[in-house]
Amino acid sequence: MTNSVGMLLRNNMENTTKLQRLLIQRGLSQSDLQKKVQSKTGIKIEPYRVSKIVNGSITNYFTETARAIARTLEVPIEEILEDN
């Protein structure tokens, strides 16, 4: 890997949300997350909402939703919420 490619990847990771990084590390798509949340918790999150939550477009969403995502991924809720 050349320095410019490595730098590009590093910059892209710096601009991702905690949730995006977690999904990347686990090899999960947003669709996978949406399906897993519903099957594990019974909570249905519309695909467009999952996208906005994962991408950080919305940060003010129901605590129940954040807990369901964290529970599904088996991480503390702090690992998916941004520090803003």
- Residues ≥6 apart with Cβ < 8 Å to 83: none
What is the radius of gyration, based on Cα positions, of the chain?
14
**pTM here?**
0.80
Q: How confident is the model at residue 83 (pLDDT cuts 50, 70, 90)?
A: confident
Domain boundaries, the chain: 3-79
H or E element at residue 39? helix 30-41
Which string of b and e fits 20-56 if b means at least 16 CB within 10 Å?
A: bebbeeeeeebeebbbebeeebeeebeeeebbebbee
Give the CATH number of domain 3-79. Answer: 1.10.260.40
Q: Of residues 20 and 11, which shows the higher confidence score?
A: 20
pLDDT digits (tens, 9 = 90+) for 16-66: 899 999 999 999 999 999 999 999 999 999 999 999 999 999 888 899 999
User: Would you say 34 and 47 are in contact if contact means Cβ atoms under 8 Å apart?
Assistant: yes
Q: How far apart are the C-alpha atoms of 71 and 78, rounded to whole Å?
A: 11
* Per-residue confidence (pLDDT) for residue 65, from 0 to 100: 94
